[in-house]
Each structure stands twice: as structure tokens, then as C-alpha cells.
Amino acid sequence: MELTVYLAGQIHDNWRDEIEQKAKEKNLPLKFVAPQTNHDRSDDIGEAILGEQPGKLYRDHAASDINNLRTQVLMQKSDIVIALFGDKYRQWNTAMDASAAITMNKPLIIIRPEALIHPLKELSNKANVTVETVDQAIAAIAYIFE
Amino acid sequence: MELTVYLAGQIHDNWRDEIEQKAKEKNLPLKFVAPQTNHDRSDDIGEAILGEQPGKLYRDHAASDINNLRTQVLMQKSDIVIALFGDKYRQWNTAMDASAAITMNKPLIIIRPEALIHPLKELSNKANVTVETVDQAIAAIAYIFE
Amino acid sequence: MELTVYLAGQIHDNWRDEIEQKAKEKNLPLKFVAPQTNHDRSDDIGEAILGEQPGKLYRDHAASDINNLRTQVLMQKSDIVIALFGDKYRQWNTAMDASAAITMNKPLIIIRPEALIHPLKELSNKANVTVETVDQAIAAIAYIFE
Amino acid sequence: MELTVYLAGQIHDNWRDEIEQKAKEKNLPLKFVAPQTNHDRSDDIGEAILGEQPGKLYRDHAASDINNLRTQVLMQKSDIVIALFGDKYRQWNTAMDASAAITMNKPLIIIRPEALIHPLKELSNKANVTVETVDQAIAAIAYIFE
Amino acid sequence: MELTVYLAGQIHDNWRDEIEQKAKEKNLPLKFVAPQTNHDRSDDIGEAILGEQPGKLYRDHAASDINNLRTQVLMQKSDIVIALFGDKYRQWNTAMDASAAITMNKPLIIIRPEALIHPLKELSNKANVTVETVDQAIAAIAYIFE
Amino acid sequence: MELTVYLAGQIHDNWRDEIEQKAKEKNLPLKFVAPQTNHDRSDDIGEAILGEQPGKLYRDHAASDINNLRTQVLMQKSDIVIALFGDKYRQWNTAMDASAAITMNKPLIIIRPEALIHPLKELSNKANVTVETVDQAIAAIAYIFE
Amino acid sequence: MELTVYLAGQIHDNWRDEIEQKAKEKNLPLKFVAPQTNHDRSDDIGEAILGEQPGKLYRDHAASDINNLRTQVLMQKSDIVIALFGDKYRQWNTAMDASAAITMNKPLIIIRPEALIHPLKELSNKANVTVETVDQAIAAIAYIFE
Amino acid sequence: MELTVYLAGQIHDNWRDEIEQKAKEKNLPLKFVAPQTNHDRSDDIGEAILGEQPGKLYRDHAASDINNLRTQVLMQKSDIVIALFGDKYRQWNTAMDASAAITMNKPLIIIRPEALIHPLKELSNKANVTVETVDQAIAAIAYIFE
């Protein structure tokens, strides 16, 4: 039984590589999908496909058309969602993906530092599991295969 | 036809009163519901009902149990959700409620200042309408009754 | 038992008034809702609420934000959808509303002239009933109350 | 991860071949399905299977029985729907398929010429992405695999 | 709490009047809805609304358009479905309505004579309750209000 | 693309073999599943597994437990349902399966002789296609692969 | 806004009266529904309606037909479910109702004594809130109306 | 056609091995998944992943986070659920899983000793089949492949 895991969340460090690496080390039968992690590419994709837009609002709207298409396709193909919140940035996309996962009955693991306990409390409360490290998230998924 | 509107979002100014007041002035047949807007009450409610908890994590978890119960009941009773994002705080609850509304096919209006165009672009893209002021949100709802 | 009927379709003649009038004559316990039937208002509503847009594409996009909000709210409140196609205009909104009604399991009556039998055949085939006149649509609904 | 793409829309030029060709050139792992693109076959299929019908209305109804069966089976198997509108014909089937896709939460890309911006504005507004060329649609899907 | 009960089933005796009468005697807060019980009216309704049809197949198809519209509207409004099978006729409509009720999670009571135990065994098995008399069905519903 | 077809309906002749044979001749990528077609086995299965029952009602109830388990598993795995009605027997199981398929949005083909047009009119009206022969049903499915 | 609350759980003391009394004292706009709380009536109801059964298994099966009909109707009408577990009896009905509520997205409050923390841990974990007393459950609901 | 079977229920004897062994002997194409059957591991898993907790309530809550994640993933992957109740322990997890399966339309087989007929009567009544032995459960599934 292979499971597909959607890795929602910040794109400012290499936590996705770390998860994939650790899953490989444990021989877990997991396939990972994710949003576009190249930040510039993600911001530019709207104009790259739809052409130049008349201002920042429209440029952002065009980019999110394409980014949301990607997320919807990949999340519908996934069995588990992991959402990682870092201590910088607002990361409303991450909260959006996490909440969508819950409402679609996709099992959800949240990773967040201790400092974010309070602002994330309601979302954490709805997730299946909330942890602080990538290792803990992998351990929770590994447990499914025991 | 009376509609129930859930007012998700920040609790640090009186925007909900303003919306209710303006709806009344326009004689719109709307009933408003909302999360607990007394911040201290919202943070304390877990321990108030469930008793003292062993630390901040557990205190927050207890509070969110009760807050999420409230939100789930009231959002299921609503016909429209308005989510307001201000320029302070992380407001992940607001993003969570907005995304849940979309996934449940509840029509959604986002109110956010111009400064938040970029970080909210994917969520905005999924909403029915994104505006900058309470007056615009009320105008969009008033249009339903024209 | 009062039923709410959504009147999708062209806004270029007074067929909605005719239906409401005939329902009243037959004392049918029906409440009618509909898209914005003032064409200019419908096209202008985006800029009226969201401000001037940078070109026609964006002006249309803004208008449809508000028009789709209206339709989603009202169609979710309805028990039956009537979709009328006239022989002018492309009326893709009407087809969109009719198809959404079918997919949401809302009972659907299509009214279309004989000349449109061929281009509407697949949509007609999915509707509960397809008729040619407003009187026939009203007769079909009246039958529910016999 | 292979994705299945349903190609809704006009059958009067070879745009589907073009899409399939371009997907192949980019080595995208896509499988394409579509409505019957032989127009005569599509119109005749009802009588071909169900026998001669008493007039055009019934002939069309019989054809749409079979065409709708085909569409329902194939669309339920698909992960993405592309709907192309050309500047001729009414193409209500295309609007019907596009709207059904949205209501079923199938990600939707609309391709339409600039001339159709206005009549398609509400449908476009509900799609994930609206573009003007086949290349843009392929680019949007290619982005999912980046 | 008032409940709406859809009375599916044969239209060849007055069992619906009997149920309504007995519910009234027991002061049960029930509202009853049903298919058209005038058999001729039910068979004629297609041509009455849609005009003369080219043969019996088409006449029946037209009638069922209107009858199914009625059933869909009324069953969606109901809280409980009672389906009565008599020992004459094939009553596939009744089986259709009963099975639709089960699949829609509408609570279902079947009334059938002892002679029909065997042919109805799979459908009975899926119903909430299967009884032999109208009095038993009313007793089962009365129990909800105890 | 392989499709799974559930063959609901009477078990008194070899129509299922005929369909499978003809699908093979046409090289259609179909897999067929069906209810238990050995009538005695189907009637005995309850007591065979659950032990002797205290009378015919209970014996039938036990058999339908097992038969309904089988049908639910197999129908959920299917992409298309074919329901064949013969001119003997009441075949309420067939009507039950056909109606369940419709309500679950499984595409449905009904096969029935001309003599059954009238009693099956409402169910036929809800099916995607109604035909008179096995060949026609196979032709309709073959069309999906054209 | 009046809410309907289903009171699942043990029927061996008067906790339902206590809840209703306390809700009244607080002027909460709540309507309460519940399973049959007369234990003998609940066990006898099958034979009372369906006649004498051939043994205890069948007697119990008949009773549960009627009890499950009641529960299904009332739970579908409810906005919130409270499930109380006492320290005697197995109360699998209570667990069944609580789990059904969760799966149907009905907000759920569990009341259980401290002694049951361990055996109820997975179910508690899925509930919105778990408390130890009737007063706490009422306090949680009262908070919705603040 | 391979089916995946979730084996809910007590973890105090080797009934799962027995089922897997018997399925193998009969060459049934079944894949089995299950909750964690090592009782200590199941109780410890929360602290093993999330760290030491401040007391038994929190320790149990942490464990159930991980156990419920596992169950949700595996049950969503399953085609059939078997739930076994033994005569010891309260086994509310088993009742929770069984009820969730029913509400999600997963076919359900209950295995329980004669002594549990009465306390399990409502849950049994909702299951597809209730049997007393592992052999009977396997026989019911084997029948699907006949």
C-alpha cells in the first residue's frame, strides 16, 4: 500500500527534502507532492502563462489561478496532508490548505514550532496530530505501516 | 428570505458592529453570527469549563475545543461567510474559517486591506468576492436582494 | 409547503413577470428568485462595488464575482430551477446554471423554442422536463401540488 | 503520477490533436478522453443504436442519451477538465460540461478567444484558469508536474 | 417537531387516506406527500403538458418526465418514506422510490403482505423497518414521538 | 482505460454470458461483476453461513444480508451498471439496484422488452439509456471507447 | 436561533431531565430529543409492533429496527449531539451514535467520568469537546449563544 | 479484483492472523489492514512521538491522536470493514470504527459471541451481516468472489 502525501507549507527552507530523505531511509512507501517551491516561479507563473497584467493585484490573481489549479489537482490525489508552519511569514496558503484538507476528510498532520502554539490553536485542534519536527511527522506516518 | 451571515476574522476592532449597523440602515434581512469577540473570554473558555490545565499548550487546546464547537455550529447555520483580515496578527483562524467555507460551498466574501493583496492571493482567488471595506461587503450582499 | 423557484435564463424580455403572474393566478405557493435582470446593472456591478478596473476583461471579471455570489446564494435556497433559453444570444450563464442545478440534484425545467432542440439536446436530456412555453413550465409545477 | 484530462468543447477543428501532440512533446504523463468528435456519428448514434425515431426531437433525444452516457463515464474518470469555446456555434454542451466539472470539484481550464470574454464571464470566473490558447492550457498543466 | 412523510407505492386502494386518518386520530404532527394517485391523470400528464406524442413509448416517457419531477421535489422535502407494495402489479416505481430513499439516507418503512416476503427480501433488508399493515407503520412513526 | 460493469437483473437465462462474449468479440476493455446467478445458492446462502433459521421470513432475511453485502461491494467498484428486466418475475432487486445506481451517480443502462415500457417508464426515464437488447447495450458501451 | 440537541447515552438515571432543567434555567433556546428512555419499552418495541418473534435474537433484531428508525430521524434533525457514558454497562449504542455524529459532521460533546478516560480515548479525541459533568456540557453550549 | 479489508476490533487474541490464514487457504484476493495490535505500543505511541505528557489524560489524548490518524488513513483505503467484539473489555473503539464504516457506506461485517446479542443489537442491525465466528465472516466475503 503506497500512500501519497501532500506537503503544504512554507517554501523558505528545505524541509520537504528532509522529509523525503527520511522517508527513504525508513523505506516508507510514500510518494510526495507539493506546491511550487520556487518562490519566484510561483509568483511569476500567472504572467508567464497569461501574459503581463495591469498591476500587482492582477499579477497576483493570475499567479494564484495557476497555483490553485496545481494544489487542487495534487491534494485530491493525496491520502495524507502535512502542513508545516514556520515562525516567519503569514503563510495563509498553508492555513488554507490545512483547513481544506480537514473539510475534505484528508488526514492532516501539522508541524509548527512551540512559539506558534497560541496563534495556531484552533487549527491544531482540528488536525489529527500536531508536532514540532519533521522527524515526529515521519514517525506518525511510519506508525501507519507498522 | 432572511440570510444568516457568519462574520469570521479579527476581533481587535468593532467591524462587526459596523456591519450590523449598516445592514440595519439598509433594511437588509440579515442575521449575524460570529466567533467569541471578547479575546480574554475566548482564551479562558477552556479552563473556565474544563478546569485548570497543566501548561499553556493544554490551556490553548482546551480553549480551542470550545471555540471550534461554537464555530462549527454557527457556520453550519450560515448562508454566507464574510472573513475580514486586518494588517496585524497572524489570523490563522480567519484563514481556517474562510477555507472551510469554500470547501463546504458556503459563499465567501473576503475583506482585506491593499497591503495584504500578496499574502492572501491564493485564498482571495478562491473566494467569491474580495473587497477592501465593510461597505463593499455590505453592497455585495445588498445586491442579492435587489 | 411553499417552494422556492430560481428563474435562470435570458433577461431580454419579461418572462419572469409572466411566470410570477401566472403562478399567482393559480394560487401556487411559490416564491421566485432570479439573477439580476437589469442588464446594465449586471454588467456594471463589479466596478460599482470594486472600483474602476483596468480594461474590459477585468471589468467583466469583477462583475461576475458579484453576480456569481448572488446566484450561488439564491440557487442554494431553491427547490426547483427553471432555465429559459431564447433564440438570441449565447446565454452560457443559463447553461451554466442549468448544469449546476442538475449536478446539485436540484430539479430542473428547461424552456426553449423548437428552433433550439438540436443545440440543447444534451442539456435537455439531463433536465427533468423540457418545454416550449412558460405555461407548460407552470403546469408542470402546478402538478406537484395536485 | 498520471493524470486523465477530459477535453470538452467544440469538435470543428483539430484542437484535441494539437493538445495531445504538445503534451507528448513535453513528455507530460497525461491520458486524454473526449466526447465523440465525429459530428455526424454524434448526431446519428441514437438512431444507430435505438432505431429510427419519429422526428427530429426524438432523434436528438436518442442521440443525447448515448452521448451523455459517454460523457458521464469519462468525466468521472478524469482528474482535470479542459473546455474550449470557439467563436462559432452555441456550444451549450461545452458550457454544460464545464459547469458540471465545477460542481463536481473537477479542476477546470477554459480556453476561449478574446471575443468571448463578455458572454463567458460568469463561467470563466468559476473556472480555475481561463486562457486563450492551447499552449497556455498545456503550460498550466505542465506546471503541476514541475 | 413536525415530520413530512412521503407515501410511495401502489395507487389502487385508499391506503394513503387510511394512514392520514390514523395519524390524525393519534394527533401525530405529520404532513403527508405522495405521487399522483389518480392513475389516469398520472398516465396522461405528459401529453397534457407536452402535447400529443408519436406513440406509447413517447407518451410514457413524457408522463414520467413530469411524474419524476414531482417525486424528486417531494421526496427531497420529506423526513421519512413509507413504501407500500400490494400483491398485484409490478410496482417498480415503488421499488425505485424505496431504493432512492435508502441511498439518500431517508429513513424507510416498507409495508408488504406476507406473500411478498421472498421477492422483496433484499429491499426489505435495507429498509429500516418492514411491516405488514398500515397500523404497524403508524405505530413505528408514533414511537418517534414518545 | 478499463471499465468495470455491474450486471444487475434477472438470473433466469444466460444474458450475462452473452454480454461477456460479445464484449470479448469486440475487444472492449471491460470487467464484469454481478449478483449471485445460481438461484438456489442465492436463496440458501443465509442459512449456509448463519445456520438454520426459524422460518421462511428469517431464512430470507439471512440470505439477503449476504446478497446485499455482495452487491454493495461490487457496485461500489463499478463504473457502469446494466440492469436487465425480463417479462417474468417481479425483479424488485433489479429495480432496487438500478435506482441505487442512479442515486449514486453510477451511469445506468436498462435493457427491457417492449412489453415492459409502461411499468418501467419512471425508472427508464431516470436511466441514461434504455434499450431492448443486449447488443444495443454493448453498442452503447462500445461507443464510449470510439 | 434555536438549536436541537440529541441526547445520546445511558438511560439509567435522569441526566436528560437535569440537562433540560438547566438549559431552561439559563434560558437557552434549545429543544431536546433522545432515544427511548424507558428501557422495557425500548426492548419490547419490536414485538409490540411486529408481533412475537422466535427467540431472543429475533426479538432484539425487531426492537432495534424500530429504535434505529427513531434515532436516524431525530439525529438528522439535530444541530448538536451530546453523548453521555456512565461507568456501568457497555453502552455500544452510545458509541455508535457518537461515531455516527462525527462522521455526519454533527458537532459532538461527550460526557464521561474520569474512570473512562482510557477506554474512551479514541472516541473522545474525535469529539469536539469531552467533559465530566452535565454542567460543563451545558456551559459549552451556552457559550455558543454568548 | 483485489479487496482491502479493515479488521477493527479487539487486540487480545490472534483472530486477525486466523482470518488472514484462512483467506490465504481459500486463495481469496484480499489485503488486510488493521489498527496497531500491540497493546503497549498503542498506548505508548503518543508519548513516543510527542514526548512525555503531564498525566494520564494527556498521555491518552496523545496516543489517540496517532491511533486515529492510522485508522482514518487505512479505513479510507478499505472496501470492507470487519469488526470483532469479544466478551471482555468495553471495546468502544470497535463500536466507533463500525459506526464510522456504516456512516461512510463501507460494507460492514460484525463478529460477536452469542452473549453479546443484546448489547450490540442496534449496531448489528445496521451492519450488513452479523456472525459469530471468523469462519462465517470469511465465508461471507468468499461469496463475493463466487
State the sign of the Cα–Cα–Cα–Cα dihedral A9, A11, A15, A20: positive
Reported as a single tens digit per residue, the pLDDT across B23-72 is: 999 999 999 999 999 999 999 999 999 999 999 999 999 999 999 999 99
Q: Which residue of C has its CA nearest to B136?
A: C49
Pairs across A and C, CB distance < 8 A: 6
The helix or strand, by DSSP H or E, that contains position H20, with its residue range, turns out to be helix H15-25
Q: What is the pLDDT of residue F74?
A: 98
pLDDT bucket at A67, cuts 50 / 70 / 90: very high
| Contacts with D144 (C-beta within 8 Å, 6 or more apart), sequence order | A69, A70, A73, A74, D3
The answer on pLDDT for H89 being more than 80 is no
pLDDT bucket at F90, cuts 50 / 70 / 90: confident
Q: What are phi and psi of A30, to 5 degrees?
A: -120, 145
Q: For the sheet with A30-33, list strands across it.
A: A30-33, A3-9, A80-84, A108-111, A129-131
Q: What is the mean pLDDT of residues A35-48?
A: 96
Q: Which residue among D56, D85, D99 places its CB closest to the CB of C117?
A: D56
Asked, for residue B56, whether it belongs to a domain, the answer is no
Least confident of C102-116, F21-35, F84-98, H109-123: F84-98
Compute the nearest-CA separation of G83 from chain B (Å).
15
Contacts of F124 in chain E (CB under 8 A): 61, 64
Is H41 part of the contact surface with chain A (CB cutoff 8 Å)?
A: yes
The pLDDT > 90 percentage for chain G reads 92
Q: What is the pLDDT of residue C88?
A: 81
Tell me the ipTM for this assembly: 0.94
Contacts of D33 in chain F (CB under 8 A): 1
Asked, for residue E51, whether it belongs to a domain, the answer is no
Q: Which chains border B (3 or more CB–CB pairs < 8 Å)?
A: A, C, G, H
Best of F71, F99, F124 to substitute, by most chain E Cβ atoms within 10 angstroms, is F99
Q: Which H residues in the span 91-120 are in contact with G, Cβ-Cβ below 8 Å?
A: 92-93, 95-100, 102-104, 117-120
Q: What is the mean pLDDT of residues G114-125?
A: 96
Query: Which tops the pLDDT comparison, E24 or G1?
Result: E24
Q: Which residue among C1, C105, C140 places its CB closest to the CB of E66?
A: C140
Is E58 part of the contact surface with chain C (CB cutoff 8 Å)?
A: no
Asked, for residue E45, whether it belongs to a domain, the answer is no
Q: Which residue of E has its CA nearest to D59?
A: E58
Contacts of G88 in chain H (CB under 8 A): none
Compute the nearest-CA separation of H112 from chain A (Å).
26
CA distance A135 to G106: 34
Contacts of D31 in chain F (CB under 8 A): 1
CA distance B129 to C46: 10
Asked, for residue H31, whether it belongs to a domain, the answer is yes
Q: Which residue of A has its CA nearest to H31?
A: A1
Report DSSP letters for E62-89, one per residue: HHHHHHHHHHHHHHHT-SEEEEE--SSS
Q: What is the pLDDT of residue B87?
A: 82
Contacts of E52 in chain D (CB under 8 A): none
Contacts of B124 in chain C (CB under 8 A): none
Compute the nearest-CA separation of H101 from chain G (Å).
9
Q: What is the mean pLDDT of residues C101-122?
A: 96
Q: What is the mean pLDDT of residues F68-87?
A: 96
Compute the nearest-CA separation of C54 from chain A (Å).
7
CA distance C25 to F116: 40
Tally the residues of chain A.
146
pTM metric for this prediction: 0.96
**B1 in Cβ contact with B76 (< 8 Å):** no
Q: Which C residues in the span 126-145 are in contact with A, Cβ-Cβ below 8 Å?
A: none
Best of D129, D130, D133, D135 to substitute, by most chain A Cβ atoms within 10 angstroms, is D129
Is C48 part of the contact surface with chain E (CB cutoff 8 Å)?
A: no
Reported as a single tens digit per residue, the pLDDT across C38-93 is: 999 999 999 999 999 999 999 999 999 999 999 999 999 999 999 999 988 789 99
Reported as a single tens digit per residue, the pLDDT across G40-81 is: 999 999 999 999 999 999 999 999 999 999 999 999 999 999
Contacts of B98 in chain A (CB under 8 A): 96, 99
CA distance C16 to G12: 59
Nine-digit cell string for D71 = 460523457
| Contacts with F27 (C-beta within 8 Å, 6 or more apart), sequence order | none
Q: What is the pLDDT of residue G82?
A: 98
Q: What is the pLDDT of residue G19?
A: 97
Q: Are E and A neighbours with ≥3 CB pairs closer than 8 A?
A: no
The answer on pLDDT for D32 being more than 80 is yes
Is B81 part of the contact surface with chain A (CB cutoff 8 Å)?
A: no
Q: What are phi and psi of D83, to 5 degrees?
A: -120, 120
H66 burial (CB, 10 Å; 0-12 / 13-18 / 19+) is buried
Asked, for residue A43, whether it belongs to a domain, the answer is no
pLDDT bucket at G88, cuts 50 / 70 / 90: confident
pLDDT bucket at D88, cuts 50 / 70 / 90: confident
Asked, for residue C61, whether it belongs to a domain, the answer is no
Q: Which domain holds residue G122?
A: 3-35+77-144
Best of E53, E58, E92, E94 to substitute, by most chain F Cβ atoms within 10 angstroms, is E92
Q: What is the mean pLDDT of residues A137-143?
A: 98
Q: Which residue among E80, E130, E146 places its CB closest to the CB of G73?
A: E80
Q: What is the pLDDT of residue H88?
A: 80
Contacts of D73 in chain F (CB under 8 A): 3, 79-80, 107, 144
The helix or strand, by DSSP H or E, that contains position E48, with its residue range, turns out to be helix E39-50
Best of E50, E57, E58, E64 to substitute, by most chain D Cβ atoms within 10 angstroms, is E58
Q: Which residue of E has its CA nearest to D58?
A: E58
Is D9 part of the contact surface with chain A (CB cutoff 8 Å)?
A: no
Which CA distances in Å does B78 have to B5, B65, F23, H91?
5, 20, 51, 37
Asked, for residue G27, whether it belongs to a domain, the answer is yes
Q: Which residue of H has its CA nearest to A141?
A: H70
A107:H50 CB<8 A: no
Q: What is the CATH number of the domain that holds C122?
A: 3.40.50.450
Asked, for residue E110, whether it belongs to a domain, the answer is yes
Contacts of A54 in chain C (CB under 8 A): 54-55, 58
Q: How many domains does chain C have?
A: 1
State the sign of the Cα–Cα–Cα–Cα dihedral A100, A101, A102, A104: positive
The answer on pLDDT for H52 being more than 90 is yes
Q: For the sheet with D129-131, list strands across it.
A: D30-33, D3-9, D80-84, D108-111, D129-131
D48:F128 CB<8 A: no
CA dihedral defined by C17, C18, C19, C20, rounded to 10 degrees? 50
**DSSP reduced 3-state for H86:** coil
Q: Which residue among G1, G107, G131 places its CB closest to the CB of B50?
A: G131
Q: What is the pLDDT of residue F143?
A: 98
CA distance C120 to C140: 20
